[in-house]
Chain A
C-alpha cells in the first residue's frame, strides 16, 4: 500500500493550508522533512520543513497513528502557510520521499476500506466536499456523523428481528422455541414501511438542498425582470462553482439565499427579438416555468394589469409562486390591485433595492412551507432515495405474503431483499450476523 498525499483545503491563497499524508511511510516522510523523530500521536508540533537544507516553511505537524486516524492508516497533517508556492514545494518534497499523489476520493476510499466509515458516511463526505451552502453542509455533516445510518438502524434492527423470528422457526423446528406472534411481526414490519417512507419523502427537499432550488422570474416585457434578477444576484452571495445538472444557456445564476442554494433563472428578453427566436424563447420560458420549484411573477406596479399579465397569472395559478409588484419607488406605483384576487403580493423596487429583504424573506418562507428547510435529516442522495423506495416495496411485499399466510421461506425472500437494500446504505448484514442474533436470542441445540 502506497503513502498518498494531497492538499486537503481548497486551492488558492489563504492564511493556512492543510496537506495530508496517509499510508505506511507517512510518519517517516514527515520525520525526514522536519528532522523530528519524536512526533507524538495527536500532539501538534511546530517544525521547519527543509528541502536541500533550505527551509520551505514553518509548519504545524500533527500525526495520527493507525488505526486511530481518519483513514485508519498512519496519517500526518501538515498545516502550512496558505501560499500555492509553499504548498507545491511541500507536496513535491513528499513525492521525492516516496509519497504519491492521492487520486480523487482516495482518502475516503481508504477510510472506507479500513472500516473507519461506512458507505453512507463516505458518500456524505463526498457531498460535503461539493456542498455549496451552509444548509447543504449541515446535511452532509449530519450524514458523516452517521446520522443517516443512525436513522436507519432502528428499521434495520426491526427487520433483523423479524428475520430472526422467521428463520429460527424454519431452521430449528425441533427446538423448543416460542411461536412468533403474528401481530407483533405485522406491527414491526408496518413501522418499518412507515419510517422508511417518511425518510424517503424527505428526498424532495434534500434533493433541492443538494442540487439547488429552481426559482424562475417571469413576467411580460418591461416589468423589470432583468433588473430584479441582477439586483438579487448582486444582493445575495453568488455561488461561483458550477452546480451539477444546471445549464447556463438561459440567464441563470446560482445564489446562496439564507443558506439554501437557489438557481435563479430570468426569462427576460423574449419578446424583443425576432419571431424565430421568440418561439424558441417562449418554449424556453415554458420549460423554465414548469421546471421551477418557485415562480416569481413580476408585475409592473406602476401600470395597469394587462391581458399578458392575466395570461401569466392563470398559467402559473397551479405553481408555487410569489406575486412581485415591481417599481414601488415610482410615484405612480399603485400596489396590488385588489380585484386581481391573487392574495398577498410583495412590493419591491429593483432600481432602489427597496423591499428586497422582504422578498428574500417571502421566498424563504415559501420554500419552508414546501418543506424545503434545513431542519431534520434529509435524504440528499438519489442512490439513497432509490434504495429506500426499494426497501419499502420489499417490506410491503413481505407484509402481503405474511398476511396471506405464506410459508416463512416465501415471506423471507422480500425481507432479505429489503435488508440488502438498507445494507447498501448503512453496511451489510451478513448471514453470520443473522445467525449470531438467532443464537443470542434463542437457546438452540437439540
Chain B
C-alpha cells in the first residue's frame, strides 16, 4: 500500500479528547497525526466556556497526574476559578474555572505545536483503510491517504451531526461547521452498533446590550486553586460571572410555543442528558417552579460575547431573541448566536476494552462523545487513555488500565464498557463507590506513579511529585509526634476553645478528628521549625486522617471484591451450559475465553448477576474436582 504520509498513530478530531490523545501518543514517542476539519478550532469549547466542577474537576486533576495537558491549558487561560463545595468534606470539593474561550484554543494549539512527533493536519476523514483484515490507515475527502498502525476516533458531535433550531434542521457538527457523515457510515460498515444521542446549547449574547446591574455578581475565589499540580500561580486577570432568573412570562411564552420545539414536536429522536435540560424541558417538567436560575458567563477578555448558561434551547432563533428580552436585565439584549440542539451518532461503548480499544478492530480506539459521554473533561480523560494505549499498542507494550477504586477515570471507563449508555454519560461523585478515597487533592498520589511508568510524566514533574510526597510524609509524622500534654499551656487553651476534655495527652492527628477542629488550628499548633507549611499539603494530610476509618473498611471491601480474582477458569469450561447465563454473556465469554475469574470480571458487559452465577459454577466445579 502506498500512503501520502505514514504515522504510528492517527487521531481523528482535535477536540478535548483528540488533543489529549494526540499529545499523549506523541510524547510516548509515537509519530502522531492529528487530523481535524478546521485547524483554527483546535480545543474549541462547543458549549459552556468552563472546565471542572464537582467530579469533573477530579477528572482534570487525574488527567494532570497522569501527564495530560488539560489542567495546564486551563490554568493558563482560566478567568474565574472557584473551588466548589468548600463547606463540605475534602473528598467532594472540586475545582472549576471559567475559560477564556479563544485563549484556551490558542494555548491548546500552541501546546500541541510545541510537541515533537505531533503533526497537525487539516482534512476530513471519510473512511478507514483495512488491509488484509488489519487497520492500516485512513482515507481523506481530498484524496489523501494516511497510513497508521493505530487510530483514535474522537469525533464528538460531528459524527453524523444534525442541528435543530425550531422546525429547521441541517447537517453539521457544530453551528456553521460540516458533519462527519461518511465516517459514521464507515463505522456502521465495520459492524459497530450505532445509536443516537442529543445535546444542546444556549444562545450567546452581546455583552454591551446587557444591563449588568440587574444581576447578582458572582466573584471567583480570592486565591484560585489551580488544576495542575505543576501550576504555582494563576496569571490571567480574573472576572466575575453574574446570576439572574427567568420569569413566569418567559415560562408562559415557552409553553405557548412548545410545538415549535423539535424536542416536543417529535423531530428529535436522540436522547438528551437529563442533568443538562433545555429551558423547554425545565419549564414543562418543573412547571411548579416560578423561576429558573441563569448564569451570565463572559466568554473572554478579547470579546463581548456572553454565554447564557441555563438557557439551552432549540426553539426558533427569532423566538429565542424574544424570550431573552423577557428576562429582567436583558430587555435590550441582542442574541449573537442562537442556541440549538444537535443529534449525533455514538458507538455502543460495550464494544470497548478497558484500554478503550474496540474488540472488533485491533488498533482502533474510541474516545469522547463517540462513546456516549458528555463534557470536555469526560472526553479529555478518555482521549488521554486512548492516546496512551494507542501508542503502547504500536510499541507492543502492556496497556494502561485504571481501576474504579483508584480513579474517577476508572469509574467512567468501567461504567461505559460494562453498562453501555442510554443517555449522554456524565461523571458524578456518586458514581464512585470509593469516593472518599478519590479526592482532587490526592490525584497525584493515586496516579502519578502510572504517569511516570508509562512515560508521560517528565523529570521535573516527577521531581516535584517526589518532593511533595516527602513533604506529606514529614507532615504526617509531625501530626503523630506533636502532642499536647495537660501540663502545656496550649492544652488548656485548646480545651477551652473546644469546650472539651482532651485527656492527659493528645496528638495533633487525634485532635484533627474532633469536631470543630479546622486546619488553621492545627497549623497554629505545628512546630515552627516545620514552617512554612503549604495549606494544600496540610489539607491533604488532614483529609487522609479525617476519612481514615472509612478508607480502612473500604480497603477491606475492595479486597473482598477481588478475593476470587485468581480463581482459574478451565480452558474447556462450557459457558453455554451454565444455566442462568444469557446468550449474550455466553458469547462474550466464548469470545474472550478468560483464564481467571478476575479476567472475566473485567470483561465488558458482564453483569453482577452473571458474574455471581459464574462464580457459583466455578466454585462448585472446584469442590467437585
Q: Are B89 and A435 in contact (CB under 8 A)?
A: no
Contact present for B579 and A109 (CB under 8 Å): yes
B contact residues around A1 at 8 Å (CB): 579, 583
The proximity string for B residues 29-65 relative to A, scoring 1 for CB distances below 8 Å and 0 otherwise, is 0000000000000000000100001110000000000
Complex partner residue of B92 from A409, A432, A443, CB under 8 angstroms:
A409
Interface-side segment among B286-294, B387-395, B530-538: B286-294
A435 cross-chain contacts in B, Cβ below 8 A: 274-275, 428, 430
B293 — which chain A residues lie within 8 A by C-beta? 175-176, 446
Give residues 493-513 of B contacting A (CB, 8 Å): none
Q: Evaluate whether A170 and B429 lie within 8 angstroms (CB atoms) in the complex, with A113-B613, A407-B89, A443-B289 already known.
A: yes
Residue of B nearest to A23 (CB): B579
Chain A residues in 8 Å Cβ range of B282? 443, 445
Instruction: Assess whether A52 is interfacial by the CB under 8 Å rule.
Output: no
Which one of B48, B274, B277 has the greatest number of beta carbons of chain A within 10 Å?
B274
| C-alpha gap A354/B515 in the complex (Å) | 71
With A404-B515, A407-B92, A443-B289 as contacts: A171 and B55 at CB distance below 8 Å: yes
Answer whether residue B81 sits at the interface, using C-beta atoms and an 8 A cutoff. Answer: no
- Contacts of A404 on B, CB cut-off 8 Å? 515
Which of A171, A413, A446 interacts with B310 by CB under 8 Å? A446
- Identify which of residues 403-440 in chain B touch chain A, using a CB-to-CB cut-off of 8 Å: 419, 428-431, 433, 435-436
Interface residue? A187 (CB, 8 A): no
Q: Known: A407-B89, A409-B91, A410-B89. Contact between A171 and B430, CB under 8 A?
A: yes
Q: Which chain A residues lie closer than 8 Å to B433 at the CB level?
A: 416
**Nearest Cβ on chain B to A354's Cβ, whole angstroms:** 56
Verify B89–A445 contact, CB threshold 8 A. Answer: no
Nearest A residue (CB) for B609: A113
A445 touches B92 (CB 8 A): no
- Whether the Cβ atoms of B292 and A443 lie closer than 8 Å is yes
Chain A proximity of B546: nearest CB distance (Å)? 8
Contacting A at CB under 8 A, from B552-588, are 577, 579-580, 582-583
Give Cα distance in the complex from A445 to B54, angstroms.
13
Of chain A, the residue at the smallest CB distance from B277 is A445
B579 touches A103 (CB 8 A): yes
Chain A residues near B276: list those with CB within 8 A.
Answer: 445
Interface presence of B295 (CB below 8 A): yes
Q: Which residues of B contact A173 (CB under 8 A)?
A: 54, 84-85
B358 at the interface (CB under 8 A from A): no
Contact assessment for B429 and A409 in the assembled complex, using a CB-CB cutoff below 8 Å: yes
Interface centre among B276, B293, B430, B583 (most CB of A within 10 A): B430
- B residues 81-118 with Cβ under 8 Å of A? 84-85, 87-89, 91-92
A106 at the interface (CB under 8 A from B): yes
With both chains docked as a complex, state the minimum distance between the C-beta of B118 and any C-beta of chain A, in angstroms. Answer: 34
Interchain nearest-CB distance for A103 vs B (Å)? 7
Q: What separation, in Å, do the CA atoms of A66 and B150 have in the docked complex?
A: 45
Report whether A170 and B54 are in contact in the complex, using a CB–CB cutoff of 8 Å: yes
B84-A174 in contact (CB<8A): yes
Q: A334-370 CB contact bits vs B (8 Å, 1 = yes)?
A: 0000000000000000000000000000000000000
Q: Does A282 contact B (CB under 8 A)?
A: no
Which residues of chain B have C-beta atoms less than 8 A from A172's C-beta? 54, 275
Asked if B396 is an interface residue, CB under 8 A from chain A, the answer is no
Cα(A410)–Cα(B428), bound, Å: 16
Which chain A residue lies CB-closest to B430? A167
CB-CB contacts below 8 Å: B180-206 with A: none
* Interface 0/1 of B280-320, CB less than 8 Å to A: 00100110010011010000000000000110100000000
Report the bound CA distance from A266 to B573 in whole Å: 52
In the assembled complex, A431 has its CB within 8 A of some CB on chain B: yes
- Alpha-carbon separation in the docked complex, A174 to B282 (Å): 16
Nearest to A434 among chain B residues (CB) is B430
Q: Which of A172, A407, A409, A444 has the most chain B CB within a 10 Å cutoff?
A: A409
Q: Is A329 an interface residue (CB 8 A)?
A: no
From A406, A410, A439, B274 is in contact (CB under 8 Å) with: A439
Complex CA distance for A431 and B430, rounded to whole angstroms = 7
Residue from A171, A406, A416, A446 in contact with B428 in the complex, judged by beta carbons closer than 8 Å: A171
Please name all residues of chain B whose beta carbon is closer than 8 Å to the beta carbon of A110 when the two chains form the complex.
579-580
A-B contact count (CB 8 A): 94
Set of chain A residues within 8 Å of B91, measured between Cβ atoms: 409
Contacts of A113 in B (CB 8 A): 580, 582, 609, 613
Number of interface residues of B (CB under 8 A): 44
Q: Is the CB of A409 within 8 A of B428?
A: no
Q: A176-B293, A439-B275, A445-B282 known; A170 and B579 CB under 8 Å?
A: no
**Measured CA separation A103–B579 after assembly (Å):** 9
Q: How far apart are B353's CB and chain A's nearest CB, in angstroms?
A: 22
Q: Interface size of A by Cβ–Cβ distance < 8 Å?
A: 36
The answer to whether B264 has its CB under 8 Å from any CB of chain A is no
Q: Within 8 Å of chain B (Cβ to Cβ): is A286?
A: no
A405 at the binding interface (Cβ < 8 Å): yes
> Whole-angstrom distance from the CB of B7 to the nearest CB of chain A?
39
CB distance from A86 to the nearest CB of B (A): 27
Query: A404 — nearest CB in chain B belongs to which residue?
Result: B515
Please tell me if the beta carbons of A170 and B85 are within 8 angstroms of each other in the complex: yes
A2 close to chain B: CB less than 8 A: yes
Contact with B along A1-44 (1 / 0, CB 8 A): 11010000000000000000000000000000000000000000
Contacts of A170 in B (CB 8 A): 54, 85, 88, 92, 429-430
CB distance from B378 to the nearest CB of A (A): 15
Chain B neighbourhood of A176, CB < 8 A = 292-293
Task: Tell me, in angstroms, the Cα distance from A428 to B612 when the chains sit together.
Answer: 14
Which of B310, B435, B582 contacts A445 (CB under 8 A)?
B310
In this assembly, does B550 line the interface, its C-beta being within 8 Å of a C-beta of chain A?
yes
A409–B277 contact, CB under 8 A? Answer: no
A175 to B87, alpha carbons, bound, how many Å?
A: 16
Complex CA gap A445/B579 in Å reads 44
B53 pairs with A174, CB closer than 8 A: yes
Residues of B within 8 A of A167 (CB): 430
CA distance A176 to B579 in the complex (A): 50
- A412, closest chain B residue (CB): B430
Which interface residue of B53, B275, B293, B583 has the most chain A CB atoms within 10 A?
B275
| Cross-interface CB contact of A171 among B295, B429, B547, B580, cutoff 8 Å | B429
Query: Taking CB as reference atom, which chain B residue is nearest A444?
Result: B275
Residues in A with CB closer than 8 Å to B292 are 176, 443
Complex CA gap A416/B293 in Å reads 30
Q: Does chain B have a CB within 8 A of A408?
A: yes
Given contacts A171-B429, A173-B84, contact A443 B285 (CB under 8 A): yes
A410 to B87, CA, bound (A): 13
Determine the distance from Cα of A173 to Cα of B85 in the docked complex, in whole angstroms. 7
Q: A409 to B579, Cβ gap below 8 A?
A: no
A408→B435 CA distance, assembly (Å): 12
A407 and B439 alpha carbons, distance in the complex (Å): 15
Q: Is the CB of A409 within 8 A of B436?
A: yes
List the B residue with the shortest CB-CB distance to A441: B286
- Asked if residues B295 and A446 are in contact (CB atoms below 8 Å), the reply is yes
Cβ B89 vs Cβ A409 within 8 A: yes
B89 in contact with A2 (CB, 8 Å): no
Q: Which chain A residue has the least Cβ–Cβ distance from B580? A: A113
A407, closest chain B residue (CB): B89
Query: 6 additional contacts, CB 8 Å, given A408-B92, A416-B433?
Result: A113-B613, A174-B84, A406-B89, A443-B289, A445-B310, A446-B310
Q: 13 A-B residue contacts at CB 8 Å? A: A1-B579, A2-B579, A106-B579, A170-B92, A173-B84, A407-B87, A409-B436, A410-B547, A410-B550, A416-B433, A432-B419, A435-B430, A445-B277
Residues of B participating in the A interface, judged by any CB pair closer than 8 Å: 48, 53-55, 84-85, 87-89, 91-92, 274-277, 282, 285-286, 289, 292-293, 295, 309-310, 312, 419, 428-431, 433, 435-436, 515, 547, 550, 577, 579-580, 582-583, 608-609, 613
